[in-house]
């Protein structure tokens, strides 16, 4: 059975655990570097991306997590997790940590603040069946997509002016991101989609050559620059 680590420093940890368990995985909390050993994949949950960035440093997880992602470990980021995995972020603090694992430029809180949170139904490639009901809470907007990124879903016309057609589910290699919170509904199809990307053999959280490291140039040939100071 696939063993998935959930970054448990802040955010929707319990909700992701429930969804992953329902989707057929073993879910474990990752709070310190040793917790990465023996996991096959990682989930970076929603929360507050600046706070998570600081907690990664204080917990000692920043380097080992970046190494695991750079080594090709499958990783799923939702909302704040999308920001952490992106190559570049607008309206972020200069010291915001980015993993550069998926060739996206995002804008924090691009759909508005807490009061502008909204829900809608999305057609998502790869999940089958009815539309996915999506919950957007202070969600990031994708403002640029590199050529190696698959867009699996776009926002339908207009809960937020000017954002119709914005990518909200993207995939590049072993990395899946959503701008919304699939863990906040009973529908676990997006989590199953992620699990389908995970080899069913024992992960060890080890590193090797792979996608961009924090503060490095994003995957080659993209034209989405990394953010200085990450």
For residue 181, indicate whether it is catalytic.
yes
Residue of 180, 198, 207 whose CA lies nearest to 26:
198
User: Out of 16, 67, 170, 181, which one is annotated catalytic?
Assistant: 181
- Which residue, chain included where needed, has tokens 């080890």? 206
Catalytic residue among 16, 67, 79, 191: 79
**Residue 79 annotated as catalytic:** yes
Annotated catalytic, 183? yes
d(CA 166, CA 162): 9
Q: How far apart are CA 134 and CA 25, in angstroms?
A: 22
Write the DSSP string, the chain. Answer: --EEEEE-SSSSHHHHHHHHHHTT-EEEEE-SGGGGTT-SEEEE-SS-HHHHHHHHHHHT-HHHHHHHHHTT--EEEETHHHHHHEEEEET--TT------EEEEEETTTT-SGGG-EEEEE--TTT-SSPEEEEESSPPEEEEE-TT-EEEEE--S-SSTT-TT-EEEEEETTEEEESS-GGGSS--HHHHHHHTTS-SS-------S-SPPTTS--STT---PPPTT-
Single out the catalytic residue among 15, 67, 170, 183: 183
Contact 49, 83 (CB under 8 A): yes
Annotated catalytic residues are: 79, 181, 183
């Amino acid at each position: 059975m696939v063993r998935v680590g959930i970054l448990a420093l802040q955010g929707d940890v319990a909700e992701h655990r429930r969804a992953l368990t329902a989707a057929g995985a073993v879910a474990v909390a990752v709070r310190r570097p040793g917790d990465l050993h023996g996991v096959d994949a990682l989930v970076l949950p929603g929360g507050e991306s600046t706070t998570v960035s600081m907690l990664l440093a204080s917990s000692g997880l920043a380097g080992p997590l970046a190494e695991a992602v750079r080594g090709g470990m499958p990783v799923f980021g939702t909302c704040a997790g999308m920001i952490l995995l992106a190559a570049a972020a607008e309206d972020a603090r200069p010291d915001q940590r980015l993993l550069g694992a998926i060739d996206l430029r995002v804008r924090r809180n691009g759909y508005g603040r807490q009061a502008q949170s909204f829900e809608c139904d999305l057609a998502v490639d790869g999940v089958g069946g009815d539309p996915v009901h999506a919950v957007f809470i202070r969600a990031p907007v994708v403002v640029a997509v590199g050529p190696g990124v698959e867009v699996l879903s776009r926002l339908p016309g207009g809960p937020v002016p000017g954002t119709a057609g914005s990518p909200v589910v993207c995939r590049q290699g072993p990395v899946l991101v959503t701008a919304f919170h699939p863990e906040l509904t009973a529908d676990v199809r997006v989590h199953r989609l992620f699990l389908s990307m995970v080899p069913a053999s024992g992960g060890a959280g080890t590193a090797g050559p792979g996608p961009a490291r924090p503060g490095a140039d994003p995957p080659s040939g993209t034209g989405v620059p990394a953010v200085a100071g990450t």
